[in-house]
A and B are shown apart, each in its own frame.
Chain A
Amino acid sequence: MFDLEQAIINWRTHMLVAGIKTPVPLDELESHLRDDIERQMKLGANPQQAFENSVQQVGHADELKGEFKKTCEIKRYSKWFLLMMGIIGLVLTPILNLIGLHVFHRSDSVFFSSDSMDYWFWFYMNWIVFIILGLVLGLANGKLRLKFNLQVKQTAIKSSAPPKTFSTLPPPCRRNPARRRFVPTSPSAIFAPSRIFSAAPLCAARRCRENRPAHFRKFF
Chain B
Amino acid sequence: MIRKELVAASAEPLILSLLARGESYGYAIIQEIKARSKDRLQWTDGMLYPVLHRMEHRGLIKSRWAESETGRKRKYYSLKKDGKTAMAKHHEQWSLVHSVLSGLKKEQHV
Contact = CB atoms under 8 A, between A and B. Distances in A.
Interface of A: 24-25, 27-29, 31-32, 34-36, 38, 57-59, 63-64, 67-68, 70-72, 206
Interface residues of B, number: 18
Given A31-B74, A31-B75, A36-B27, A71 B50 contact: yes
Contact of A64 (B47, B54, B57, B70): B47
B72 interface: yes
Find the residue from B26, B27, B44, B49 having the highest chain A CB count within 10 A: B49
B45 interface: yes
Contacts of B27: 31-32, 35-36
B47 A28 contact: no
A77 B106 CA distance: 54
Given A31-B73, A32-B26, A32-B27, A71 B54 contact: yes
Contacts of A72: 57
A59 B45 contact: yes
Nearest to A54: B45
Contacts, number: 59
Given A57-B45, A63-B44, A63-B47, A27 B26 contact: no
A70 B25 CA distance: 21
Contact of A71 (B25, B46, B57): B57
Contacts of A32: 26-27, 45-46, 49
B44 A59 contact: yes
Contacts of A71: 50, 53-54, 57
22 contacts: A28-B49, A29-B46, A32-B26, A32-B27, A32-B45, A32-B46, A35-B27, A58-B44, A58-B46, A59-B45, A59-B46, A59-B47, A63-B47, A64-B46, A64-B49, A64-B50, A67-B47, A68-B53, A70-B54, A71-B50, A71-B54, A206-B57
